[in-house]
Structure 1
Amino acid sequence: MGACMALCSLASCASCLCGSAPCLLCGCCPSSNNSTVTRLVFSFFLLLGTFVSIIMILPGMETQLRKIPGFCQGGTTIPGIENQVNCDVIVGYKSVYRMCFAMACFFFLFSVIMIRVRSSKDPRAAIQNGFWFFKFLILVGITVGAFFIPDGTFHDVWFYFGIVGSFMFIIIQLILLIDFAHSWNEVWVRNAEEGNSKCWFAGLLIFTVLHYALAFAAVVLFYVYYTKPDECAEHKVFISLNLIFSVVVSVVSILPKVQDASPQSGLLQSSLITLYTMYVTWSAMTNNPNRNCNPSLLSLVSNVSTSEPSPTIAPGQVQWWDAQGIVGLVIFLFCTLYASIRSSSNTQVNKLMQTEEGSGSGGSGEVGEDGLRRAVDNEEEGVTYSYSFFHFHLFLASLYIMMTLTNWYKPDTTTQAMQSSMPAVWVKICSSWLGLGLYLWTLVAPLILTNRDFS
């Protein structure tokens, strides 16, 4: 409950930041485009919900709540009489499922409402860019309602929603990384042409080599620790195929015809995509129920082997703070913030992300009659991003966070524990293959569709 109060106070700051459309900016806030500030505040809502979810799965949280006189009760109901609540529900994976369910419902609702908004002149654009306090109240209301959901089959059903949504979000993550790599390469090459070319080209070379070196080192470690001579056949296939596919897209990116059609393509992008592919491969293998093929990092460091058939988590206990979960959260944070401020000039990526080439986020603030600065309304002629798709992206991000914080473990309603599952493995591996396919498409599309302008 304290976390909810913290959420409320922080969101009230957000409502102070942006009270109506166009968004009012505090004196300490830099001038910006209305579209950018709106995306940042919605992302702030998502990150706030993530923070609350993390608090609810911290070690000892349930013990601390039980110290409050008359606060916790037993049983299976969520709230009871005399202001008592079931602490097994508001902590652990159950709280993560309910909090992320609320965020997913919130963003999906706005995704439906904002379908086919073309410019800020549409009345629905005022809802998108303002009324933050009321939107926060809606989110809180859905969250409170989510904690009234009875256990039943809720966790099993929502687990599969999380699997599908996370699959789609991993693809979006890779698209954003493609966009980031293209922008990175374009800016550094332009700086090299305008200034000290040796330094900029040396920087490109260093990062490209670093990415490939880390990816190669990861492949070697995968073969050493995540495969066995007589078992782990799936892991051997996953590692080998993703290594081959990464080599293929790297070679394609520097072919003369591809370079002529897409001068912005290069090894920097391919190296970053290769490294991300190896991360997804590792993340998938850590969800294998076969403990012999999925050693914990602690056992790798201490040389202790175990023959447990499947890693499980006790009732109400979720331990997401392993290396895979932490890296996943870091990548999630980067992609969420990047999606909020991005203004890409890459046509292919813009089509995949349902956005348009923007004018950037550095507009000059307008001063109203009341003396307060206002964000620049840069969408009077047309939106710079799809409102509906942006909310759908946050909807998928909510599901991805739910799966990440619960280690992609499947709830077991009979034992009230969490278990690894092969569906999570296949979802991640298939998403890595589809992501590589999308990157390959951004390279070869100008050669195949010669009648289109990809400049």
Structure 2
Amino acid sequence: MGAVLGLCSAAQLACCCGSAACSLCCSACPSCANSTSTRLMYTLMLLLTMVVACVTLAPGLHDQMKKVPFCANSTALVPSNFKVDCDQAVGYLAVYRICFATCLFFCLMALIMIGVRSSKDPRAGIQNGFWGIKYLVVIGGIIGAFFIPEGSFAATWMVFGMIGGFCFIVIQLILIIDFAHSWAERWVSNYEETQSKGWYSALLLAMLSCYALTLTGIVLLYIFYTKPDGCDLSKFFISFNLILVVIASAISILPSVQEHQPRSGLLQSAVVSLYVMYLTWSALANSAGECNASFTGDKQSSFDKQSSIGLVIWVFSVIYSSIRTASSCSKITMSEHILAKEGSGGYDSIEGDGGEAGRDETKVFDNEGDDVAYSWTFFHVVFALATLYIMMTLTNWYNPSSQLSKENAASMWIKITSSWLCVGLYVWTLIAPAVLPDRDFS
């Protein structure tokens, strides 16, 4: 029994403080590739950061902080020289500080991993192990961020947040388009192989549901975000995006497109159309007060409906990028740098007797011995941008030091531009094989 506990403790110590892979921590973990387990661990780190940031926005937390003895606004009997301003530990400014430290961590990891070609590089241990030390670094960075003088910190960091958040929206568009193509290709393939009416009905139902939700969203946008006399910009955004999704849907079923991509169809167009309508709604939620159904003129709550949906889509995108392997449509959407390549590298056992034989017995096997399955540097850049996006989403895309109003022209234009980019990227995935016949998109 003691030997078993000793072996378990040694494995956990190797995982937390050494370069061993994370699947050594628990014998109950399923066998998986080293590239997958590493990305899942970074995803867990990012999700925990999001949870902590959300906690700082919890209603009533500001009042509860007054009961903490060392807070400056507390009535507890603590020497004045030990008291701090706990107001900075809650609210939007706290979200900025938490995400600032987390973003710097991923930027540092991106710099360290520049030029890594395989897991044989000495820096691979830093990428795949030392998880306990990494979490301590992030926690220490977050604590240190709360000592940054407020000054112009929020206003300056907001500019970085706007730019980084927009960049992640573009990456999120690529992931959603890749998901739409993969989903449709899988179900069409199942239908072609089985000739089952069940798969055909599922395809039809999913497509009609997405289009029905899109149409419902358009109607609601006209009702709540426009007026008969005025709100011309809002009317333009809704109408223009409606025209774009109709054009994209028509292109997806053109004979020339079907010739090069026989599995392309209206299901992908329906998913993209629904996401474009969400982006339109999100943009209009930051429009001028007289045309904004969510604007009341009073102090806004920490979360609203469009922010909550944005968080759900963000979580889906991050998890999807961690467990998804690149497909043929990834070559069109340029997402092979985000998603792991299928069959990449050699398989070397990390635990077991090694090689292909050890792969069946080991908890984690190294699939990057010959070549990395994804760009490690770009992966950390994406997660740094994801941190900035979640920061801007939780703070409703405005400076926490400003008046808490839903009106934000910069955020509105970022989101509406993103919706146009989404349609443009999707249309490119449809016409690229026909426009560039010399390139292999198979």
- Normalised by the size of structure 1, how large is the TM-score? 0.86
C-alpha separation between the residues in 2 aligned to 1:35 and 1:350? 21
Preserved CA contact (<8 Å) 1:90 1:147: yes
Match of 2:186 in 1: 187
Offset at residue 141 of structure 1 (A): 1.9
C-alpha separation between the residues in 2 aligned to 1:42 and 1:67? 35
Preserved CA contact (<8 Å) 1:412 1:419: no
C-alpha separation between the residues in 1 aligned to 2:21 and 2:277? 43
Which of the residues 308, 331, 336 maps onto 1:348?
331
Offset at residue 233 of structure 1 (A): 1.4
Preserved CA contact (<8 Å) 2:38 2:127: yes
Offset at residue 345 of structure 1 (A): 1.3
Q: 1:366 to 1:131 in 2, by over 3 A?
A: closer
Match of 1:52 in 2: 52
Residue type of the alignment partner of 2:237: F
Preserved CA contact (<8 Å) 1:14 1:132: no
Offset at residue 164 of structure 1 (A): 1.0
Match of 1:425 in 2: 412
Residue type of the alignment partner of 2:269: S
1:79-98 matches, cutoff 5 A: 82-98=81-97
Match of 2:200 in 1: 201
SS in 2 for 1:295: coil
C-alpha separation between the residues in 2 aligned to 1:104 and 1:14? 26
SS in 2 for 1:452: coil
- 1:450 matched to 2:432? The reply is no
SS in 1 for 2:147: coil
- 1:293 matched to 2:313? The reply is no
Offset at residue 115 of structure 1 (A): 1.8
1:37-76 matches, cutoff 5 A: 37-69=37-69, 71-73=70-72
Residue type of the alignment partner of 2:425: L
- 1:336 matched to 2:318? The reply is yes
Residue type of the alignment partner of 2:416: I
Match of 1:99 in 2: 98
SS in 1 for 2:32: coil
Offset at residue 255 of structure 1 (A): 0.8
SS in 1 for 2:240: helix
> 1:79-123 deviations in whole A, cap 9, x for unaligned?
x97443212100000100000111111111111221222211122
Match of 2:352 in 1: 368
Offset at residue 357 of structure 1 (A): 3.0
Please, which moves more after superposition, 391-400 or 193-202?
Answer: 193-202
> 1:122-148 deviations in whole A, cap 9, x for unaligned?
222221111111111221121112111
C-alpha separation between the residues in 1 aligned to 2:234 and 2:258? 34
Match of 2:274 in 1: 275
> 1:212-244 deviations in whole A, cap 9, x for unaligned?
000011001111110012221111111111111
Match of 1:387 in 2: 376
Q: 1:199 to 1:31 in 2, by over 3 A?
A: same
Preserved CA contact (<8 Å) 1:32 1:365: no
Offset at residue 38 of structure 1 (A): 0.4
Please, which moves more after superposition, 150-159 or 345-354?
Answer: 345-354
Preserved CA contact (<8 Å) 1:410 1:420: no
Residue type of the alignment partner of 2:144: G
> 1:63-92 deviations in whole A, cap 9, x for unaligned?
1121122x21159xxxx9744321210000
Preserved CA contact (<8 Å) 1:23 1:374: no
Residue type of the alignment partner of 2:283: A
Instruction: Structure 1: give runs of 5+ residues left out of the alignment.
Output: 1-12, 300-305, 314-318
Match of 2:253 in 1: 254
Residue type of the alignment partner of 1:338: Y
Match of 1:178 in 2: 177
Match of 1:130 in 2: 129
SS in 1 for 2:334: helix
Match of 1:9 in 2: none
Residue type of the alignment partner of 1:389: F
Match of 1:357 in 2: 341
Preserved CA contact (<8 Å) 2:324 2:340: no
Q: 1:81 to 1:250 in 2, by over 3 A?
A: farther
> 1:2-48 deviations in whole A, cap 9, x for unaligned?
xxxxxxxxxxx998579533443312111111000100000111101
Match of 2:227 in 1: 228
Preserved CA contact (<8 Å) 2:333 2:429: no
Bigger RCO (CA 8 Å, 6+ sep): 1
Match of 1:316 in 2: none
1:148-163 matches, cutoff 5 A: 148-163=147-162
Residue type of the alignment partner of 1:329: L
Instruction: Structure 2: give runs of 5+ residues left out of the alignment.
Output: 1-11
Over the matched positions of the two proteins, sequence identity in percent amounts to 49
Match of 1:323 in 2: 305
How many pairs does the alignment contain? 418
C-alpha separation between the residues in 2 aligned to 1:175 and 1:280? 14
Which of the residues 404, 420, 423 maps onto 2:393?
404
Q: 1:368 to 1:350 in 2, by over 3 A?
A: farther
Match of 1:215 in 2: 214
Preserved CA contact (<8 Å) 1:312 1:420: no
Cα RMSD of the aligned pairs, angstroms, is 2.7
C-alpha separation between the residues in 1 aligned to 2:177 and 2:263? 11
Preserved CA contact (<8 Å) 2:22 2:41: no
Offset at residue 400 of structure 1 (A): 0.8
SS in 2 for 1:376: strand
